[in-house]
Amino acid sequence: MTPTHDVPDADGAPENLLPPIPGMPPMPAMPGAASAEALAHGPQHCGLIAIVGKPNVGKSTLLNALVGQKISITSRKAQTTRHRITGMRTREATQFVFVDTPGFQTLHANALNKSLNKTVLGAVGDVDLILFVVEAGSFTPADERVLKLLGKGIPTVLLANKLDNIHRRGDVAPWLQTMHEKHDFAELVPMSAKSAKDVERLFAICAKYLPEQPWFYGEDELTDRSEKFLAGEMVREKLFRLTGDELPYTSTVIIDKFEEEPPQKKGQKRLMRIAATIVVERDTHKAMVIGDKGDRIKRIGTETRVELEKLMDAKVFIELWVKVRSGWADDEARVRSFGYE
């Protein structure tokens, strides 16, 4: 996973800080260019940090907390994340490039799950640090299988998340001792992704593993994903959150239209016109998504719109459709055609 765009020269003199040539327009900021303030903190450090673990341990919640903005969707159901999502945070001279991954699937070997696992394997190969996320106090065979995938050469932090769920803190130390014996972890970090103080502490830990090298991305960039991708993800999050446990995971969302109209007048926001199709497996699922007199799909639309207006700083119109495509998650060609690797 190598960033595709240019970075400043290794001598740390980004081109756009050169004095302007008279009569020439100023150079546009380069992707990895640093502000004067950032340069004052010394040589740039930058690196990739993969967040991996079994489903539902809080990987995406952690990514969002680290990035400081919701870019990866979360829900209390497993298999929420289905793509690799990169989120960046630049602080002083250090750029942290976090990679959120789907929860590693061990239960069913259908085409969708195989694709999700391929995504996880692709993400852990070439990084500077791995955050292996488990739930504090628990280590199941599913965690064990993820741990076996991780190469020995990359420093790996055991991140014992959801510490706030453990009421007897005295139980944590002996459990950490058993984890220490299981694998040569670089560090053991019991914490909660929902605690700002813990997240701050994690930054200091990650920073130690990032090499001195020019930043990969611009200082204010948050993610490598497009607004169109984030729109589809947001629909999927509302779908997951508003359908309870009855809707199986074999539903997905396709964006059919994503158009931007510039503001009509000064001071107005741009307008995004979005149409999306929710794909489900059966007619009964379609009825669940639509709800009584269309109540549920209306709510999915409204909640998506509110969230996207915040994220994109735009006015959003969204239209939703539901379609039945039985067996899509078992069909490799269809899984690919719906945008999975």
| Binding residues vs Mg ion (CB under 5 A) | 59-60, 80-81
Of the candidate residues 7, 38, 59, 85, the single one contacting ligand GTP (CB under 6 A): 59
Gap between the Cα atoms of 71 and 79, Å rounded: 16
Question: Phi and psi dihedrals of 67, rounded to 5?
Answer: -75, -25
Scan residues 274-313 and list those touching ligand GTP (CB under 6 A). Answer: none
Q: How far is CA 249 from CA 4, 222, 246, in A?
A: 33, 28, 9
Residue nearest to ligand GTP (CB): 103
At closest approach, how far in Å is the CB of 218 from Mg ion? 25
Give yes or no for residue 60 binding ligand GTP (CB under 6 A). Answer: yes
Comparing CB distances to ligand GTP, the nearer of 81 and 277 is 81
Closest CA to 106 of 136, 76, 78: 78
Burial class, 107, CB count within 10 angstroms (exposed 0-12 / middle 13-18 / buried 19+): exposed
Sign of CA dihedral 120, 125, 127, 128: positive
Q: How far is CA 227 from CA 147, 258, 307, in A?
A: 33, 9, 12
The helix or strand, by DSSP H or E, that contains position 179, with its residue range, turns out to be: helix 172-182
Distance linking the first and last C-alpha atoms of the chain? 14
Give yes or no for residue 58 binding ligand GTP (CB under 6 A). Answer: yes
At closest approach, how far in Å is the CB of 57 from Mg ion? 9
Q: Which stretch binds ligand GTP (CB under 6 A): 35-43, 188-196, 239-247, 292-300?
A: 188-196
Q: Cα torsion at 228, 241, 117, 145 (round to 10°)?
A: 150
Give yes or no for residue 226 binding ligand GTP (CB under 6 A). Answer: no
Q: Which stretch binds ligand GTP (CB under 6 A): 9-17, 50-58, 138-146, 208-216?
A: 50-58
Gap between the Cα atoms of 162 and 47, Å rounded: 26
Gap between the Cα atoms of 299 and 223, Å rounded: 27
At closest approach, how far in Å is the CB of 307 from Mg ion? 16
Comparing CB distances to Mg ion, the nearer of 122 and 291 is 122
AA letter at 129? L
Question: Phi and psi dihedrals of 158, rounded to 5?
Answer: -85, 115
Q: Which residue has the tokens 């001071």?
A: 267
Q: Are strands 187-190 and 156-161 parallel, antiparallel or unpaired?
A: parallel
Give yes or no for residue 57 binding ligand GTP (CB under 6 A). Answer: yes
Q: Which stretch binds ligand GTP (CB under 6 A): 75-83, 86-94, 152-160, 284-292?
A: 75-83
At closest approach, how far in Å is the CB of 231 from Mg ion? 18
Give yes or no for residue 78 binding ligand GTP (CB under 6 A). Answer: yes
Query: With CB under 6 A, what is the number of residues at the site for ligand GTP?
Result: 24
Comparing CB distances to ligand GTP, the nearer of 81 and 119 is 81
Of the candidate residues 81, 156, 250, 304, the single one contacting ligand GTP (CB under 6 A): 81
At closest approach, how far in Å is the CB of 329 from Mg ion? 18
Q: Which stretch binds ligand GTP (CB under 6 A): 19-27, 31-39, 55-63, 292-300?
A: 55-63
Comparing CB distances to Mg ion, the nearer of 245 and 292 is 245
Question: Phi and psi dihedrals of 148, rounded to 5?
Answer: -65, -25
Scan residues 152-181 and list those touching ligand GTP (CB under 6 A). Answer: 161-162, 164-165
At closest approach, how far in Å is the CB of 103 from Mg ion? 6
Question: Phi and psi dihedrals of 200, rounded to 5?
Answer: -60, -40
Residues forming contacts to ligand GTP in the complex (CB under 6 A) are 53, 55-61, 74-76, 78-81, 102-103, 161-162, 164-165, 192-194
